[in-house]
Structure 1
Amino acid sequence: MAKPRIKNEDQYEALRDKGYSKEKSARIANTPNSGKKGGQAPPYEDWTKDDLYEQAKNVAIDGRSKMNKKQLINALRNN
């Protein structure tokens, strides 16, 4: 069985070094905006609920369809 492809190996390894699980590290490293310099995106509170939902979908947060905006923000920050 082939190893899943990681889009951003450097980010994946950095996350693993910080103690993140393999699954979580791969999810983050495979998001479309992985590796982009942080601090340039607006805070989650400024995002629309639809945008938060899409981001939660990108990182495979379970139960996202039943979450309100505050719950989506919390899940994205703590996933």
Structure 2
Amino acid sequence: MPPKKKGSPGPSVKDPEVYEALRDDGASKEKAARIANAAAAQGRSKVGKRGGNAEDYDDRTVDELRKRAAELGIEGRSRMNKSDLIDALRNH
């Protein structure tokens, strides 16, 4: 197996082009891999049409934010205040 280039995705990323574009836009490695793999499995146009229906994080309660953070596996969420939770969710 050839050595992995610095900054290149691992073998589990199915659409490296989408992954790299998302990373360049500031997405986390996990988020970029999740979206890139969905794009490879379902088609870029289908994945690109998703979204836009979620309530703004600023309009949610702390309990709602903690629940979403739990779904995403964000550690330390029980000690976070609302602004910390919003930041963690946006940058996950």
| Pair in the same fold by TM > 0.5 | yes
- Counting only pairs closer than 5 Å after superposition, residues 13-32 of structure 1 correspond to structure 2 as 14=18, 16-17=19-20, 18-19=22-23, 20-21=28-29, 23-25=30-32
Quick check: 1:53 aligned with 2:66? yes
**Per the alignment, do residues 60 and 39 of structure 1 end up closer, same or farther by CA in structure 2, a change over 3 Å counting?**
same
In structure 2, the partner of 1:44 is 57
Residues 39 and 60 (structure 1), Cα distance of their counterparts in 2 relative to 1, 3 Å cut: same
Q: TM-score, normalised by structure 2?
A: 0.52
**Matched residue count:** 67
User: Secondary structure of 2:85's match?
Assistant: helix
Q: TM-score, normalised by structure 1?
A: 0.59
Identity value in percent: 48
Shift of residue 77 of structure 1? 0.7
Query: Relative to total residues, which structure has the larger helix share, 1 or 2?
Result: 2
Gaps of 5+ in 2: 1-13, 38-46
CA distance, structure 1, for counterparts of residue 61 and residue 78 of structure 2: 14
The residue aligned with 2:76 is: 63
